[in-house]
C-alpha cells in the first residue's frame, strides 16, 4: 500500500470518528429543552470568500421578501470573510455567528460551544445555502439547530458526496430544494436555489459590490495594474518567476504602476517577486488590507491580473477589467464568467485545455473538483498579449 492510499484511509477514518463525535455532542446538547422563537431565521454559509461574493445579493433579496422581512435573521458564516460580510451585509442580518473552520473541525470545546449556542437560539427556520453540502460542517449545524423547519439543497452530484449525504444527513433536513445536477456557474446556481426557496423569479443578472464608503489609510499609487500572485492551492498558482517576468514587460511597455496585493499567508510569494525590482513603480501591499480595503483597491485599478482566486470575483462584481490565470479547476462552475454578463475579462488556461474549450470538446463534469492541467504551461507572453488586448480596448 502506497503512502497516498494510506493517508486517504487515515482521512476517511478520521472523518468517520469526527462524524460520530458530532452526533454524540449534538445528542447531549439536545437533552436540554429550549423554546422555538417565532420569526427567527438562521442562514448557514461556511465556504470561501468568492462563494460569499456570488451569493450576497441574494441574501439582500431574502431580507426584503414578503415572508422573511419581519424575521430576525442571523448569518452563520466563515470567519475568513467576516469583515467583508459585516461591511456588505450589515443591513441584511440582525446578528452574525462566525466559525473558524480549522478550530471547528477538531477542537471539541469550540465545536460544543458553537452547537450549543446555535441550539439555544431556538431558530424557527434554518437554511443551509451551499450546493456542495459538507457533512461535517453545514449539515451537522443544521442538525444541531433543531429548527422547526430545516431547508437545504439536494446537493452536488459527485458520487461519493451524494451517497454519503443520502445515507447520513439528508434526514437532518425537513425540506430539500431540488437543484439541477449539471455543471452550472455558481451565481446561477445560487439564483436557482433562492428562486425555488422564495418561489419567485429574481431579476438580477450578476453579483454586485460597492466599496465607495471604504476609507483607505494607505499611500495608494495612481494609475496602477493590480497583481494577485497567490492562491490557496499550489496547483492554482502561476509561478512567481512568471509573474516577475510579466511585471518587467508591463513596466517596459506602459506607464502604469504595479501593485501587489494578497493575504498575509502569501507574503513569501510576493517577496520573491518584489525583491527583483528596485523601481518605485512597484509596491507591495500584501497583508496590509482587510477585505473591504482589498475591494476598494480593486475598484480603482486599471486592470487586475490574478490566479483563480476571490480577487476575480471582486473584480467581476465591481465591473473592473481582469485577467484570470487558471489551471481549469472548477471549470464551468467558478470560471470562466459567462459571456452574457458582459464583463471585460480574459480567462487563460493551459494550451491543451484551451484547445478543448474552443473546439467544444470539454466535459465540464471532469473539472468539478480538480484539474490535471499544469498552470505553469501558460507562458508569460500569452498573459502579456491578453493584457495588451484589454488595455488597448479600453
Q: Where are the alpha helices (DSSP H) in the chain?
A: 3-30, 49-53, 56-64, 82-88, 101-106, 108-121, 140-145, 159-164, 186-198, 240-253, 267-274, 291-299, 310-318, 351-358, 380-393
In a domain, 247, yes or no: yes
pLDDT of residue 159: 56
Answer yes or no: do 192 and 155 share one domain: yes
Average pLDDT over residues 30-42: 97
In a domain, 99, yes or no: yes
Domain count within the chain = 2
DSSP 371-382: --S-GGGS-HHH
Q: How confident is the model at residue 394 (pLDDT cuts 50, 70, 90)?
A: confident
Q: How confident is the model at residue 4 (pLDDT cuts 50, 70, 90)?
A: low
Answer yes or no: do 271 and 370 share one domain: yes
In a domain, 81, yes or no: yes
Give tens-digit pLDDT for 352-368.
Answer: 999 998 888 888 778 88
In a domain, 191, yes or no: yes
Give tens-digit pLDDT for 291-348.
Answer: 999 999 999 999 999 999 999 999 999 999 999 999 999 999 999 999 999 999 999 9
| Residue 188 pLDDT > 90 | yes
CA distance 153 to 77: 17
Average pLDDT over residues 238-244: 94
Give tens-digit pLDDT for 199-213.
Answer: 999 999 999 999 999
Answer yes or no: do 85 and 194 share one domain: yes
CA distance 152 to 44: 10
- Name the domain boundary from 198, 216, 245: 198
Average pLDDT over residues 107-133: 97
In a domain, 108, yes or no: yes
Average pLDDT over residues 94-108: 96
Answer yes or no: do 187 and 309 share one domain: no
In a domain, 111, yes or no: yes
pLDDT of residue 219: 76
Q: What is the CATH number of the domain that holds 141?
A: 3.40.50.2000
Answer yes or no: do 312 and 385 share one domain: yes
Answer yes or no: do 171 and 229 share one domain: no
Answer yes or no: do 189 and 246 share one domain: no
Answer yes or no: do 234 and 174 share one domain: no
Give tens-digit pLDDT for 59-75.
Answer: 999 999 999 999 999 99
In a domain, 207, yes or no: no
Give tens-digit pLDDT for 145-163.
Answer: 999 999 999 988 775 667 7
Domain that holds residue 132: 32-198
In a domain, 214, yes or no: no
| Residue 113 pLDDT > 60 | yes
- Assess contact for 246 and 266: CB atoms under 8 A: no
Strand partners, 345: 322
Answer yes or no: do 279 and 172 share one domain: no
Answer yes or no: do 77 and 143 share one domain: yes
Answer yes or no: do 344 and 385 share one domain: yes
Predicted TM-score (pTM) of this structure? 0.94
Give tens-digit pLDDT for 15-33.
Answer: 889 999 999 999 999 999 9
Q: How confident is the model at residue 143 (pLDDT cuts 50, 70, 90)?
A: very high
Answer yes or no: do 249 and 149 share one domain: no
DSSP 152-181: EE-----HHHHHHIIIIIGGG-SEEE----
- Assess contact for 106 and 20: CB atoms under 8 A: no
Amino acid at each position: 500500500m502506497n503512502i497516498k492510499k494510506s493517508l486517504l484511509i487515515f482521512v476517511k477514518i478520521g472523518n468517520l470518528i469526527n462524524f460520530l463525535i458530532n452526533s454524540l455532542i449534538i445528542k447531549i446538547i439536545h437533552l436540554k429543552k429550549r423554546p422555538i422563537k417565532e420569526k427567527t431565521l438562521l442562514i448557514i454559509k461556511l465556504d470561501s470568500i468568492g462563494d460569499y461574493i456570488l451569493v450576497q445579493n441574494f441574501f439582500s433579496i431574502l431580507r426584503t421578501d414578503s415572508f422573511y422581512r419581519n424575521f430576525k435573521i442571523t448569518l452563520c458564516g466563515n470567519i475568513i470573510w467576516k469583515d467583508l460580510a459585516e461591511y456588505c451585509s450589515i443591513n441584511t442580518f440582525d446578528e452574525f455567528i462566525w466559525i473558524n473552520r480549522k478550530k471547528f473541525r477538531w477542537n471539541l470545546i469550540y465545536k460544543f460551544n458553537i452547537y450549543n449556542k446555535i441550539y439555544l437560539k431556538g431558530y424557527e427556520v434554518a437554511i443551509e445555502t451551499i450546493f456542495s453540502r459538507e457533512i461535517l460542517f453545514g449539515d451537522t449545524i443544521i442538525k444541531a439547530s433543531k429548527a422547526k423547519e430545516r431547508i437545504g439543497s439536494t446537493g452536488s452530484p459527485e458520487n461519493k458526496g451524494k451517497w454519503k449525504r443520502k445515507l447520513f444527513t439528508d434526514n437532518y433536513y425537513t425540506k430539500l430544494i431540488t437543484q439541477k445536477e449539471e455543471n452550472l456557474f455558481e451565481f446561477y446556481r445560487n439564483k436557482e436555489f433562492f428562486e425555488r426557496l422564495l418561489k419567485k423569479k429574481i431579476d438580477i443578472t450578476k453579483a454586485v459590490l460597492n466599496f465607495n464608503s471604504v476609507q483607505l489609510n494607505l499611500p495608494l499609487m495612481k494609475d496602477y495594474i493590480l497583481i494577485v500572485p497567490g492562491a490557496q492551492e499550489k496547483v492554482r498558482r502561476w509561478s512567481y518567476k512568471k509573474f516577475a517576468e510579466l511585471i518587467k514587460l508591463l513596466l517596459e511597455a506602459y506607464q502604469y504602476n504595479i501593485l501587489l496585493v494578497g493575504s498575509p499567508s502569501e507574503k513569501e510569494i510576493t517577496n520573491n517577486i518584489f525583491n527583483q525590482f528596485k523601481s518605485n513603480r512597484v509596491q507591495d501591499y500584501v497583508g496590509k488590507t482587510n477585505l473591504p480595503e482589498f475591494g476598494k483597491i480593486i475598484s480603482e485599478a486599471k486592470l487586475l491580473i490574478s490566479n483563480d482566486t476571490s480577487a476575480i470575483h471582486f473584480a467581476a462584481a465591481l465591473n473592473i477589467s481582469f485577467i484570470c490565470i487558471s489551471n481549469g479547476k472548477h471549470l464551468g462552475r467558478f470560471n470562466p464568467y459567462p459571456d452574457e454578463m458582459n464583463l471585460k475579462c480574459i480567462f487563460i488556461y493551459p494550451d491543451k485545455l484551451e484547445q478543448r474549450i474552443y473546439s467544444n470538446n470539454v466535459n465540464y463534469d471532469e473539472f468539478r473538483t480538480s484539474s490535471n492541467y499544469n498552470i505553469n504551461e501558460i507562458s508569460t507572453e500569452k498573459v502579456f498579449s491578453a493584457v495588451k488586448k484589454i488595455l488597448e480596448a479600453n
